[in-house]
Every structure is written in C-alpha cells, then in structure tokens.
C-alpha cells in the first residue's frame, strides 16, 4: 500500500505550483528543510525520484508527473466530499469559487453584493481573468463555475445565458463620425480599430461579425485590458468595439461616445458555465439560480443607443 499522507500531497503540489522548494515553503509558512524532508519521505515511500534539478531549476520526473495527476484527482474528490457535507448542512453555509471574464467584472461585483447580502454566511472566492484562463480552470476543475461570453462547443460544459451583452462601437467625442446617423459598415473600413488580444471573446465576436458582412477592418494596437482600450480611444488613437457594460461611466462623463452604426449593437449574452458532471455545492447551486432568475433585473440599464445622453445633458434629463 502506498503510504502517502494528504499533508505530503499538499506540500508536493505546492512545490509543483511554485517550481521551487523555497517559494513553496514560504507559501505554506514552513521552513525549506521541512518541505525538503516531506518530499524526501515521499520519494523513499514511492521508491522513485519526483523532481530533478537542472541548473537552478527543478522539473518533475515521469514519476512526479504521474503523482501530480493522482494528487489532483484526490484533491477534487475531497472538494466534492466537502460539497456533499455542505449540502447536508444547508445553503446557509459553504464556499463558492467563482471566476469571471475581465469584461464581466464591470457588473459581477454588484451581483455578488446582492447575493452575499442574501446569503451572508457563504464565503465567495472571486478570480478575474481572461477567456483562455477561464477555459483552463474549467478543464482542470479548479473553479465551481465561470461567467463568460459565448462558451466553446464540444468541451463537456453546461452553459446557460442569464443576461444580454451588447457590443457597441466607441469613439473619441471629437471623431469625425461622432454624431453622424446610420453610419454604414463599409465606412468603418477606413478607420483604425483598437482590439483585444487573440482569443478574447469580444475580439472573436467582432471579427466574426465584420467577416460575415464582408468588411475588412484595419487593426491598430492590440491590448489585453478594456481599460487600455478605452484610454487609447479617448486619446484619439482609433475606434473600438467593446461591451456596453465597460463604458457606462465614460459615456456618462462625455469622455467617449457611441457611434450610430448600422447593425449595431452586436447582441451577445453572458453565460454561467460549469463542467457537465460537476457536483455543485448548495452555495454554487444557489448562486446559479440567483443569476438565472434575477441578474437581468438587478443589473443597471445599459446605454446601447448612439447619442445616449452623457455628462451634464444626462443629469438635466434625470431632473
């Protein structure tokens, strides 16, 4: 029988994640000799080396890679057991591990605030990252669920839409197209577009839309955050297609404007996604139900029409 303790597996995983004995020791609040001793005891028990050192770097051996595979399976089984016990306790307690696309973070905190007010004893762990990382987390069962745009097909996932996600064209208020009505799509081929990184859901939707309408776009700088895109558009470096969720403040203050382009906004949706065979905890189930039933009504209205009031004009209209 393989006599390896859960504590040893935890230390082993920390070394793998950190690619360093010293960094693993710091993360676990242990001394480096203590970490080295745990790994040495595991190697003696298994009868094989788990790491090899080349220069100043350490790498998993074949035995180490096999152990890491089984270690992750064991950790996932324990997480599922914890979910079962939480279910027996009821929905008032529990943990929710949620990951969201960076664009979704413009509205996710507001929804989480409403959810946590209703279930104050549920602990929420939130990770904000890009689409590629979200898919990796789902593939490795590292999160309960994610909020993202259109999920990929054929990945053994359950995806349900809960809210609209309109994509709009934004410009600097001084741009020649600002204020024009019914701009036709071929006219946009003369403009430079600032875009997100390859793999971004917004970029993929934009490229697919213009390809379907036989419009070739000129792309300028590639940026990996919505904030960078907005700052560059404000500076007059080009136009951009973004989620309406990301620009409410800039439209309100008059730093950006929406362009009235035919066939816009591109209507997409936000999805809550999890693994098909994922055993959702009571906390995760409660949050999913909350999203599907209430998110659309709790979210703030979006300015998706070109010429929507901004700045002083908006404030005057509200009086």
Q: Rounded distance, CA 40 to CA 133, Å?
A: 33
Looking at the structure, tell me whether residues 184 and 252 fall in a common domain.
Answer: yes
Helices (H), 47-130: 62-89, 108-118
Do 27 and 110 belong together in one domain?
Answer: no
Among 76, 107, 137, identify where a domain stops: 76
50 in a domain, yes or no?
yes
Mean pLDDT along residues 239-250: 93
Question: Predicted confidence band at 87 (pLDDT cuts at 50, 70, 90)?
Answer: low
Instruction: Please check whether residue 206 lies inside any domain of the structure.
Output: yes
Q: What is the pLDDT of residue 313?
A: 36
Residue 316 predicted with pLDDT over 50: no
Cβ count within 10 A of residue 19: 13
User: Does the structure show a pLDDT above 80 at 305?
Assistant: no
Instruction: Report percent pLDDT > 70 for the chain.
Output: 92
Q: Which domain holds residue 100?
A: 79-163+270-298
Domain membership flag for residue 83: yes
Residues 141 and 285 in one domain: yes
* Residue 313 vs residue 255, higher pLDDT: 255
Q: Is residue 61 part of a domain?
A: yes
Count of H-run helices and E-run strands, the chain: 12, 11
Average pLDDT over residues 20-45: 93
Q: What is the largest CA-CA distance in the chain?
A: 77
- Could you tell me if 187 and 245 lie in one domain? yes
Residues 61 and 202 in one domain: no
Domain contains 319: no
Global pTM value: 0.68
Which CATH number do you get for residue 52?
A: 1.10.10.10
94 forms beta bridges with 122
Give phi and psi for 101, each to the nearest 5.
-65, 150
Residue 132 inside a domain? The answer is yes
What gap in Å lies between CA 70 and CA 67, rounded to an integer?
5
- Answer yes or no: are the C-beta atoms of 265 and 304 closer than 8 Å: yes
Q: Which CATH number belongs to the domain containing residue 278 in this structure? A: 3.40.190.10
Domain annotation covers residue 311: no
One domain for residues 193 and 48? no
106 & 70 share domain: no
Instruction: Check residue 304 and give its pLDDT.
Output: 62
Last residue of a domain, one of 76, 93, 115: 76
**pLDDT at 297 (0 to 100):** 85
Q: Are residues 244 and 126 in the same domain?
A: no
Quickly state the pLDDT bin for 277 (edges 50, 70, 90). Answer: confident
Report whether pLDDT(312) > 50.
no
What mean pLDDT comes out for the span 284-309? 79
Domain total in the chain: 3
Q: Do 172 and 251 have their domain in common?
A: yes
Exposure string over 143-153, b if 16+ CB within 10 A, otherwise e: bbbbbbbbbee
Residue 310 has pLDDT above 70, yes or no: no
The answer on 146 and 278 residing in a single domain is: yes
Rounded CA-CA distance 39/58 in Å is 13
Residues 154 and 279 in one domain: yes
Looking at 27, 56, 76, the residue that finishes a domain is 76
In a domain, 137, yes or no: yes
Strand partners, 89: none
Same domain, 170 and 243: yes
How many other CB atoms sit within 10 Å of the CB of residue 185?
A: 16
């Amino acid at each position: 029988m393989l006599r390896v303790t859960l504590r040893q597996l935890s230390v082993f995983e920390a070394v793998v994640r950190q690619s360093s004995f010293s960094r693993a020791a710091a993360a676990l609040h242990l001394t480096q000799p203590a970490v080295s001793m745990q790994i040495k005891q595991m190697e003696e028990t298994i009868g094989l080396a788990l790491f090899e050192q080349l220069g100043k770097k350490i790498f998993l051996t074949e035995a180490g890679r096999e152990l890491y595979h089984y270690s992750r399976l064991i950790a996932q089984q324990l997480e599922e057991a914890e979910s079962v016990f939480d279910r027996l306790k009821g929905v008032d307690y529990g943990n929710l591990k949620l990951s969201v696309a960076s664009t979704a973070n413009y509205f996710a905190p507001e929804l989480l605030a409403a959810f946590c007010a209703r279930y104050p004893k549920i602990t929420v762990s939130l990770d904000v990252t890009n689409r590629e990382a979200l898919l990796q987390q789902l593939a490795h069962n590292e999160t309960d669920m994610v909020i993202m745009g259109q999920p990929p097909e054929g990945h053994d996932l359950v995806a349900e839409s809960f809210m609209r996600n309109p994509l709009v064209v934004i410009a600097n208020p001084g741009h020649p197209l600002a204020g024009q009505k019914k701009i036709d799509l071929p006219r946009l081929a003369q403009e430079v577009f600032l875009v997100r990184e390859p793999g971004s859901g917004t970029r993929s939707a934009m490229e697919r839309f213009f390809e379907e309408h036989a419009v070739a776009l000129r792309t300028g700088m590639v940026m990996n955050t919505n904030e960078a895109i907005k700052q560059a558009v404000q500076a007059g470096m080009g136009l951009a297609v973004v989620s309406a969720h990301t620009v409410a403040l800039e439209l309100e203050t008059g730093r950006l404007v929406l362009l009235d382009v035919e066939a816009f906004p591109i209507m997409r949706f936000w999805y809550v996604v999890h693994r098909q065979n994922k055993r959702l905890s009571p906390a995760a189930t409660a949050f999913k139900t909350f999203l599907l039933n209430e998110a659309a009504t709790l979210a703030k209205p979006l300015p998706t029409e070109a010429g929507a009031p901004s700045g002083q004009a908006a404030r005057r209209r509200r009086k």
